[in-house]
Every structure is written in C-alpha cells, then in structure tokens.
Amino acid sequence: MTTHLYLASILHFTQQSNHPEDDYTYIHDGSMVTRNGKIIATGERKNIENQYLDVVIHDFSGQLIVPGFIDSHLHFPQTEMLASFGEQLLDWLEKYTFPTERKFAEPEYAAHIADIFLRQLYRHGTTSAMVYSSVHQCAADALFAAAQRHNMLLIAGKVCMDRHCPTWLQDTPKKAQIESAELIDRWHKKDRLLYAITPRFAPTSSPEQLHLLGELAQQYPDVYIQTHLNENLHEIAWVNSLFPKHNGYLDVYDKFNMLRPKAVFGHCIHMQEHEWQRMAQSGASIAFCPTSNLFLGSGLFDLKTAEKYNIPVALATDVGAGTSFSMLRTLGEAYKVGQLRGDQLQPLHGLYLMTQGAAIAHGLADSIGNLNPGTDADFVVLNPNFDELTTLRFEQHNDVQDIIFALSMLADDRAISATYIAGEPVYQTHTE
C-alpha cells in the first residue's frame, strides 16, 4: 500500500468554530501524509518527514494545501447555460432553464454533460457538491455513475416538479416519490454517494407531491433534502398566493415535513423574523449563493443574521444562475455582498464556509472539510503565484489571510495546481 507525503504550506480548520478567522491551523513548512485514500498525518514538515520511510514524495513547496472545496448548491443540467442574459428568476426559468433541462431526458446526453460537469468541479478545486439533477431519473443515474467512477463524495437528487412548468418536464406526485425512492435504494450510501430528496421549489410542486415527498423524507431520516427558499420577491408573492393557509414560504416546507437537519435551503434572502427563528430551531442549513443572487438580481443574503441565529451556512455557486464554478470567485462575490450590506466577511471565515463549515452543516466533517488524520484525502493544492500579477501582488503582502483574500478576488481555476479525491489526483497542471 503506497504512502504519499505532500510538502506544502497547509491551511485548514480542525473543528467547529464561530470565529474561524481566529481559529485556523496554518503550517508554513507543512507536510501531509496519505495512505489508502485517507489522511494519516498533518503537521510540521520537520516532525513528520522522518517518521515515514518508503513514501512517494510530492513536493509542492511554496504552494498551499487546503481541504477540497464543497459547493453546497448547484444544478448539473445547467452547466451549458451559464451566463444567459437578461432575466430575473421566474422568466429565467421559463426562457433558459426549462428548455435546457429538457435535453436530460436522453441518458447519453446526461452522461456526456455529467463528465463535463465533474471536470469543471475538479479544475476549480471542488471535491464535493450538493447537486440538483433534472426531473429525469436517468440523468440522476448518469451523474451518480460518473461521480462513483471518481470515488467522489457527491450528494444529489432528481428534481421533482408536477406543475407550473412545461408539461414535458413534469412528473406526478406518485412518480416523483417512486423514482426518488428507487434512486435512494440505488445510490444512497453506495461508496461515498448520498441522496437528496429534491422538490425544485414550492411553486412547481403540488400539495400532493409535497405531501408524498415529506412522507419519503420521514421514511429515510438520514437522506438529505434540498430546495429553494425566499430567493426572489415575485417568487415569494407567488408562493403566498398558491399556499394562502401557510404562514409564509418556509412554513410550506415545514408543514410537509421537509424542515429538519440535513435539509439545505438555497438562497434565503428575504426571510421574515419568524422564519429565521423556525429555521434556527429546525437544524436545517442555508446555501449562500452570491454570484447567483447578484446575477439574477435576487438580493443580498444576510449572513450576519443567519450567524446570529446559529444557522449553519455553506457557500455555493448555484451554477447555472451562478456565474462561475470557482468557489474562490464565489468567495470574492460573497465579500462584495457583505460590502453592499455594510458587513465585512473575513477571508478565512469565507474559506470556512466552503470547507469545514459546509462539512459540519451537512454532518460530514468526519470525512471531508478538513485535513485531520482519519478523514478522506480530498484536498486542493493552490498556487498563489500563478501569473505575473499575482506574483507581484504576493511579493508585497503574503500572510495567509491576505493570500486567501487576494485569491478570492484575482483567482479562479488558474490558481488550482492539483485536486485530489480520496488520495487520487482528479486534476493536475503538472507544476508539482
């Protein structure tokens, strides 16, 4: 069994923290050892190097190893429609999203895009993701099969929607329940794969469908749930008119038994006070998608209030309303959202929201999100000096907070030297 030793600076968050910007582990002359897909040691180079004989050495000196990024909300069938001009949420769905997702009825097409989608994740340093597929069962199968080939920890689900979308994209309450249950049986906890029950959002599911999906969720308490919530003011007015007996948008999911731990709600921009409170009690978490929220003109997420209520928040791209697969870029846009709100997002706090904080939100910190011994060897090698400009920039200032901040503004996939999943390289630029 080969043992691998990586030489680089190392940055991660070893535990849960409310102040990760003050609570990180940084080792300038660091070393990490992996064997059989797991991390077995992380520490000072001088302490570790001589303990392990007969190792394959990967010398990334001058570069920075961080945990693989976790993207907690994105849509794989929307890969090809990134950057579609001119609309806000509801018109954007009609004009671009539904016609694009129709193509995923074809299993070969879904398999083809699944490969492109995963390559995009890896080249941007993302090793785990929580993914919406299309309404078609075969597309979810294609995505899971592709992720399984890379031994990836992927959470995903078939979208369920039986109304207020084109008839050619609709399932039915029963079909959604049966096909989701079949997918759970086929994929949940197979290797590193996990399932998420995925009603698209309240307007596109009838009460009957929400009822059956809530039943399914109760039948499988360890399965994830993902959906959209309080993203756009027109969407919210629509939900209120469709569900007049409910006390707001969140209450729809609540009454149908979909508000619980391992439920991840995308966006949550326009929250009422009672919704923050109820969300906080429930153990559910929020996916904060800044590039999407700016692109669709949806609004500015209130991270400070979410954190005041101790609601776990994870950062996410929301491709294809999000405009980049890069979690570094996403972090940069999260900072700008904070600027517009008058709140300052510390760079290492942001890094936490895409690594350890996300893993904790999803109950997965025993295997991903950090570089602690015993976890899976999912990690990224960042090269801060990837071009003339960044080389100049880091000649002047080079403490680790500043490096992460500047990379969030200046970098994208160009800063990713290598991405490893379970100890195997899934992307490399040969700068080792």
One-letter amino acid at 107 equals P
- C-alpha pair distances (Å), 196 with each of 37, 55, 92, 330, 393: 25, 39, 24, 23, 42
* One residue of 179, 231, 302, 333 binding ligand GUN per CB under 6 A: 231
The candidate with the shortest Cα–Cα distance to 27, out of 80, 64, 68, is 64
Q: What element of type H or E holds 73?
A: strand 69-75
Q: Is 89 in the site for ligand GUN (CB under 6 A)?
A: yes
- Closest CB to ligand GUN among 42 and 227? 227
- Closest CB to ligand GUN among 123 and 200? 200
Q: Is 71 in the site for Zn ion (CB under 5 A)?
A: no
Determine whether 118 is exposed, middle or buried from the number of CB atoms within 10 Å of its CB (0-12, 13-18, 19+). Answer: buried
Number of residues that bind ligand GUN (CB under 6 A): 11
339 contacts: CB under 8 Å, gap ≥ 6: none
Q: Which stretch binds ligand GUN (CB under 6 A): 49-57, 89-97, 354-362, 420-428?
A: 89-97
Q: Is 262 in the site for ligand GUN (CB under 6 A)?
A: no
Q: Is 162 in the site for Zn ion (CB under 5 A)?
A: no
Written as six digits, the tokens of 31 are: 């070393």
Q: Is 413 in the site for Zn ion (CB under 5 A)?
A: no
Q: Residue 179's binding partner, choosing from Zn ion, ligand GUN, none, with beta-carbon cut-off 5 to 8 A by kind?
A: none
The candidate with the shortest Cα–Cα distance to 182, out of 147, 140, 131, 129, is 140
3-state helix, strand, coil in the chain (%, to 5): 45, 25, 35
* One residue of 179, 235, 318, 412 binding Zn ion per CB under 5 A: 318
Q: Residue 231's binding partner, choosing from ligand GUN, Zn ion, none, with beta-carbon cut-off 5 to 8 A by kind?
A: ligand GUN
CB of 127 to Zn ion, least distance (A): 20
CA separation for the pair 147, 339 (Å, rounded): 36
**How large is the C-alpha radius of gyration of the chain?**
21
29 contacts: CB under 8 Å, gap ≥ 6: 9, 44, 45, 46
CB of 297 to ligand GUN, least distance (A): 12
Helix (H, G, I), strand (E, B) or coil at 102: helix
Q: Is 321 in the site for ligand GUN (CB under 6 A)?
A: yes
Q: Is 333 in the site for ligand GUN (CB under 6 A)?
A: no
Residue of minimal CB distance from ligand GUN?
Answer: 321
Q: Residue 275's binding partner, choosing from Zn ion, ligand GUN, none, with beta-carbon cut-off 5 to 8 A by kind?
A: none
* One residue of 34, 72, 97, 209 binding ligand GUN per CB under 6 A: 97
CB of 89 to ligand GUN, least distance (A): 6
Restricted to residues 200-219, the positions that interact with ligand GUN (CB under 6 A) are 200-201
Most distant pair of Cα atoms in the chain: their distance: 68
- Closest CB to ligand GUN among 134 and 177? 134
Q: By CB under 5 A, name the binding residues for Zn ion.
A: 266, 318
Q: By CB under 6 A, name the binding residues for ligand GUN.
A: 75, 89, 93, 97, 200-201, 228, 231, 292, 318, 321
